[in-house]
Structure 1
């Protein structure tokens, strides 16, 4: 018994010593926190007409960065507002991420107007969101979603990587919890974001050799904080369906599903501060995270565990929702 007690004491001492050494090393080797200002560096942000891109562009401009703000509509109200509220260090670029020509022209302008320290970061923020059950969607719906959310990021990243690599800077990608959280109505969006994260993960491994950091932002429900969520009525959905699908998905169920989705959007975060702070950290921190999961404190544990749970368990989670129960009853009643 004394022998066992002695071993336990030794293990305890070693454990405490290891913890103390770890904390001491963190204190001694603590890297600089964040860039105090961005003087001499440039950042390119896509999707600055509104939402997170718009807010981030203003924040980085205030920190002294030269900001190239990519806008789909450079003459639109969002771009004009951004320009009027910013310093002369911010430049609006016409940038449709689905256009090879737009990306080529944007790169030319960036190269011709780089500050002395070069292009520090590219923030791939441009994206769209829509919701629909897979059988309500067309192949064109999937093409459009993927072309903007996935191929748009790839197109922009490949073009600007040489400039970011030269500064050993940052590549930041706007993803979503729907990249791993598979649920009703988000099929096309999930496909685009899961593909985006696969690209960013592969890029992170490759860029590590060059000192470039790659970060993925995973917001939860920020529908109220941006205008990314497409608003539509049950009638809009119903009119799009052919006769066969109208037989399967009755109008009453579609009305219920639409009301449920809209109420869910209204229950999320009302401002985007959490996301903007994460994006700023990814751009300016000495040690940016690979992923920033941005959900409520109550939801954090669930979403942290979700990707590691068996599929049978993750699928069963949805049976707890009253909406899924009603869906099964209404669609099987026919």
Structure 2
């Protein structure tokens, strides 16, 4: 083929692609305008969504948002008779149903599935939002295998367990699967190893699922919040004394009491400085559930942080490690530990 013919072919292909995209955008715009006159309660009418972890935090707020937009909501709660679950039911419409759902228990998941199947609206189960999760912090040598197991069982295996059970229902409606992850799934952070392991595994699972379910018209989205410690109760506070008492004599010689107190205060102050506004996260989750073109990932941080995280994965490992070694806390850690050696 002559060079001129090749260039002409490429130009024609590019122009055709631009036209296709323009037409698609025009049709989508018209569709959005035509749907703009609907009331909020008509938006989700006939569609059901299962949300896990609705006792508090993001799950509770999302359940209320979906209920207000007309969705049939199955709100999975660890403590269905607790204050959080009862107030959620009291403040919502009759479309919201609280379910007992411990995502680490096969029996709970199977019972929840039976309940969902018995009360599905005409359009079926549109989506599952895997929101249930826990957070904890500790250096690796302070942790036990039980601590890692609990984190992984809830944050990772709990999502997998729920997905396997409910995916056939979502596939039937060509709906959505949404997963609550974290920026700590792809960045290193001092003292957050167990949490990062669970969230990195979750993203790997969601990425694989997205490729597989695309054949069935099911869309998969990952939510990656930054620091929203004040907006949820996922952070469980502890004292330096609590941590110290869990260490054996050998580790007490390495990780002295002074450092543990400083590290604990640093972690708590960082959590308390997080955003109080849940709307950024809830808006992203709602977009993932309702947009014709949901994003694969929703990175929910400031604009400056968004730029940093955008280039972070392109950095060589020695550069990304060096960034954290330059942090004041890391430098203080080295000084305090080695001064006791």
**Which TM bucket (shorter chain)?**
over 0.9
RMSD value, Cα = 2.0
Mapped to 2, the partners of 1:202 and 1:235 lie a distance apart of 42
Alignment match, 1:115: 121
Q: Does 1:271 align with 2:277?
A: yes
Q: Who is 1:140 aligned against?
A: 146
Q: CA deviation at 1:319?
A: 2.0
Matched positions, count: 322
Q: TM-score, normalised by structure 1?
A: 0.92
Offset of 1:17 from its aligned partner? 7.7
What is the aligned partner in structure 2 of residue 101 from structure 1? 107
1:1-334 equivalences under 5 Å are 24-25=22-23, 27-30=25-28, 32-33=31-32, 37-333=43-339, 334=341
Tell me, in whole angstroms, the C-alpha distance in 2 between the residues paired with 1:18 and 1:325: 56
From the superposition, tell whether residues 275 and 97 of structure 1 become closer, same or farther in structure 2 (CA, over 3 Å): same
Structure 2 stretches lacking a partner, 5+ long: 1-10
Counterpart-to-counterpart distance in 2, 1:122 and 1:228: 20
* 1:28 to partner: Cα distance: 2.7
Give the deviation of 1:22 after TM superposition.
7.8
Cα deviation digits, residues 303-329 of structure 1 (max 9, x gap) = 111122111111000122111011111
- 1:24 to 1:300, Cα distance in 2 relative to 1, 3 A: same
Q: Which runs of 5 or more residues in structure 1 are unaligned?
A: 1-12
**Cα deviation code 1:20-66 (max 9, x no counterpart):** 85874454343644896110010000000000000000000000000
| TM-score normalised by L of structure 2 | 0.90
1:267 Cα offset (Å): 1.8
Give the direction of change, closer, same or farther, for the CA distance of 1:20–1:93 in structure 2 (3 Å limit): closer
Distance in 1 of aligned mates of 2:78 and 2:204: 25
Distance 2:205 2:262 in 1: 36
**Any idea what SS the aligned residue of 1:232 has?**
coil
Distance in 1 between the 2:305 and 2:20 partners?
30
Please give the secondary structure, in 2, of the residue aligned with 1:308: coil
Structure with greater contact order relative to length (CA < 8 Å, sep ≥ 6): 1
What per-residue deviation string (whole Å, max 9, x for no partner) do you get for residues 241-298 of structure 1?
1111100000000111111111111222112110000000001111100000001122
Task: Tell me, in whole angstroms, the C-alpha distance in 1 between the residues paired with 2:152 and 2:18.
Answer: 48
Partner residue in 1 for 2:5: none
Q: 1:22 to 1:296 in 2, by over 3 A?
A: farther
